[in-house]
Amino acid sequence: MSAKVSFKEIETMMDICAPGWTYRTSNHSRVVKYNGLVYRNLPKQDEIEVGFVRSMARHFNILDCAKKAMPSLST
């Protein structure tokens, strides 16, 4: 079983590392937008596997900041 984080933790990390980010809920996931980029694969659940968060942070080129703001991404 992989580690999970709450969506609230993700919101806090994104506020720090990706100011101005937005998201909307679609049928099966959250669609996150930042700096002209779109990440469509963030699950809608309240607890989200860190692999999805790490992938999103890489997509937005904020992984270094994200690891500092959310230490569970470093493991």
CB pairs under 8 A, 24+ apart, for 7-15? 7/45, 7/46, 7/47, 7/48, 9/70, 10/42, 10/48, 10/53, 10/70, 12/69, 12/70, 13/53, 13/57, 13/66, 13/69, 13/70
- Nearest to 57, CA basis, from 34, 24, 26: 34
Q: Is the pTM of this model over 0.85?
A: yes
According to DSSP, the residues that pair with 11 across neighbouring strands are none
Question: Which segments of the chain have a pLDDT < 50?
Answer: 1
